[in-house]
Amino acid sequence: KQYGVAIIVSQAFEELLSEPARSRLRHLDTVTVKGSSMKQRIFSYDARHKGVNFFLYDRSPEQADLDAETYTQNIWKTDPDLLKMRQHVTKDFMDTFVKGRDLYLAGKWSRAIEKLKEADNIMIQTIVEEGIYEYDLTTYGDQLLDPSTSNEEILRLRQDIGDRTCHNLLAYMEKEGGVAPENWRGY
């Protein structure tokens, strides 16, 4: 819950996966487990169900059995349901998020805040423009794309459709005054 994602996995679990599966995970943060000094990266598999008809590609039980028998590692890059659930995760979003996360881990928080806000805005824009939401957002026009809005309803929607990991990392850094602690080691 701390990162606002449904599926979170440890570095140890990530290392067990095939390369195609690993390529679909997002490194969220680096942490230490309570009582340990060993660093551990944590990852998410970003999948969105709101506004996604991801069971659009119904298969007969026989076809599902055949698909299971012929499973390959490429399922992560070819399965229509998996692709549909991840359509909100664009290359532009990932590139910008990675820059923000890396700046955060490096203790360059003012620049990290800028990049993570930019990544969040990219996700919001993608969801609005592609219509990837459970409700029709067209009535809000471009208001949803304005990060400086003070409209409560728009702020609530931006929070709901944006990237929760960005929101949580931003909240943590802002709680600390936007400056990494002197003893910051990237976790």
Would you list the domain boundaries of the chain?
54-175
Does the pTM of the predicted model rise above 0.85?
no
Can you tell me whether residue 25 is helix, strand or coil?
Answer: strand
Can you tell me whether residue 27 is helix, strand or coil?
Answer: strand
Q: What is the pLDDT of residues 143-171, one digit of tens each?
A: 888 888 888 988 988 888 899 999 999 99
Tally of CB atoms within 10 A around 48 = 20
Q: How high does pLDDT run on average in the chain? A: 86
Q: What is the pLDDT of residues 76-123, one digit of tens each?
A: 887 777 777 788 889 999 999 999 999 999 999 999 999 999 999 999
